[in-house]
Structure 1
Amino acid sequence: MNVSTSEKKWFALYTKPRWEKKVHEGLLKRGVDSWCPVQRIEKQWTDRKKIIEEPLFRSYVFVNIDFEPQRLKVLQTDGVLNFVHYLGKPAIIKDEEIDTIKRYLSEIDAKVELRTLQGFRTDTKVKITQGVFMDKEGTVLREGRKKVYVQLQSLGQVMVVEFSVAHLEQIG
């Protein structure tokens, strides 16, 4: 394993299903810098509506660690299944990607939907002209919709983010 131990890096962890918040709390108790991004969702029950915080990435939690000294401590935390691997090595998540997600989630009315890369066709390429995703490029999900794809390459997933059409500019 050739992961540098000279500085902390962000890694993604697989967790047991629906254990994201428990794993995050367990890691924090063990002194591990952990982040479980959540978004506020309105859920409808038969008798009431309730706003809940739901993990943004199902079965994922992020840790900011020096890999070798803290790897075992992380893996021994209840609910952690393994590090997410990319090309045979633990996937290092760029600070920029973590910061972008944090900034977006701090916006009022931020809505994010996640999809895997399989099954997506490339449509119109767009550039975002306002907000935290300004100058980022994406692909429109469907014509006439207000959603663009922003790929997080190190996770092999796509964020589908709602934008006003006024904040998009066609490119290419």
Structure 2
Amino acid sequence: MNNNTKKWYAIYTKPRWEKKVYALLQEQEIAAYCPLNKVRKKWSDRYKIVHEPLFKSYVFVQVEENEMTKVRMVGGVVNFVYWNGKPAIIKDEEIHIIRKFLNEHEHVEAEPLQFMPNQRVKIMSGVLMDKEGIVIRSDKNKVQVVLESLGFRLTARLSSNEIRPV
């Protein structure tokens, strides 16, 4: 198989199955990456360095499209992470950055992007795709954005996966 046709994808796992899924993928000879974070934990009598998954319930796989069913059949795999109706492709550079960052730092935290009021964003899907706006309000599942066009203020409620920072 030509390695150039393989792409990185994120898969969603059962809770706390990241390491197990990673091991099962390797047994199937599927290229996988489970970013592990070195964390110092305190037990009642001592401290210990443990390796915890950086992204809870996520593992990355590098496969061709025709291998996706094989990945889905691995125990503990729930499904691929989707973006705009298709499995989300992760850039090689992003995997490289994660690896490098974890090699250089311990006790790393990963947190989802938060959209802040007055932040400029671009809408990524739907009727308003490619339009820019300003975040008015952001809560857990929805982001309210004002779109200024034709001298009017149009307010649309969008889920946070439908917009990107500009």
Q: Same fold (TM over 0.5)?
A: yes
Q: Which of residues 37, 40, 43 is equivalent to 2:41?
A: 43
Corresponding letter in the other structure for 2:68: R
**Partner SS, residue 46 of structure 1:** coil
Do structure 1's residue 90 and structure 2's residue 87 form an aligned pair?
yes
**Partner SS, residue 8 of structure 2:** strand
**For residue 27 of structure 1, what is the aligned residue in structure 2?**
25
| Shift in alpha-carbon separation, 1:29–1:115, aligned structure 2, 3 A | same
CA distance in 1, matches of 2:113, 2:100: 23
Do structure 1's residue 72 and structure 2's residue 69 form an aligned pair?
yes
Any stretches of 5+ residues in structure 1 without a counterpart? 124-155, 157-172
Do structure 1's residue 114 and structure 2's residue 110 form an aligned pair?
yes
**For residue 56 of structure 2, what is the aligned residue in structure 1?**
58
The ranges of structure 1 where at least 4 consecutive aligned residues each deviate by more than 6 angstroms after the TM superposition are none
| Shift in alpha-carbon separation, 1:40–1:110, aligned structure 2, 3 A | closer
Does the 8 Å contact 2:39/2:106 carry over to 1? no
Corresponding letter in the other structure for 1:32: I
> Aligned pair count?
118
Structure having the higher Rg: 2
Q: Which of residues 12, 15, 26 is equivalent to 1:14?
A: 12
Does the 8 Å contact 1:12/1:84 carry over to 2? yes
Question: What CA deviation, in whole Å up to 9, does each residue of 1:39-87 have, x standing for no partner?
Answer: 110011222211100001000000000122x111100000000000011
CA distance in 2, matches of 1:40, 1:115: 16
**For residue 140 of structure 2, what is the aligned residue in structure 1?**
none
Any stretches of 5+ residues in structure 2 without a counterpart? 120-160, 162-166
CA distance in 1, matches of 2:118, 2:55: 23
Query: If the length of structure 2 is used for normalisation, what is the TM-score?
Result: 0.65
Corresponding letter in the other structure for 1:79: G
C-alpha RMSD over aligned residues: 2.1
**Partner SS, residue 113 of structure 1:** coil
CA distance in 1, matches of 2:73, 2:47: 37
